[in-house]
Amino acid sequence: MRWRWRMVWALREPTHAATPQFFCRHFWFATQRMNAPTTIASDSVPRIGHGFRLQWEEAQQAHVLLYPEGMVKLNGSAGEILTRCTGSAPVEAIVADLEQRFATTGLEADVLAFLRMAQERRWVEFA
């Protein structure tokens, strides 16, 4: 949202807003931010996105992701993954921890798919 406001405000300024270089440069940065890379390496370190807060909601008996405009109620799997996204453990450690906790194997593809979706919605960021 912020980038849109900056672009609109900058286009109102008569000094450099009319030049095509200014518009193209700012449009490129905006699209790069919107189209974040969707490939996640196993050594990437995820953390909860800026403006979001993860907490356990006793009334709903579920993890919820809070943000200024509302709340997202997470299912059990999403809650387990996001509680491990602290900014200190890489994806491979998160997968290993989940496989050990639930005594199963082969969760890497599912965890990566969820993290890709969460990254698109800005729930997680990668360091």
* pLDDT band per the 50, 70, 90 thresholds, residue 10: very low
Per-residue tokens: 105: 């194997």
Work out the average pLDDT over 86-96.
Answer: 96
Q: Report the CATH architecture of 46-126.
A: Orthogonal Bundle (1.10)
The pairing of beta strand 46-48 with beta strand 124-126? antiparallel
pLDDT of residue 37: 55
d(CA 58, CA 60): 5
pTM of the model: 0.71
In the predicted model, is pLDDT for residue 22 greater than 50?
Answer: no
- Is pLDDT of 107 > 50? yes
Supply angle C-alpha 96, 35, 72, rounded to 5.
60
Higher pLDDT, residue 32 or 51: 51
How big is the CA angle at 67 (ends 117 and 38), to the nearest 5 degrees?
A: 20
Beta bridge partners of 73: 64
Dist. CA 73–CA 14, nearest whole Å:
46
Nearby residues of 66 by Cβ (< 8 Å), 6 or more positions away: 52, 53, 54, 55
Q: How far apart are CA 76 and CA 118, in angstroms?
A: 15
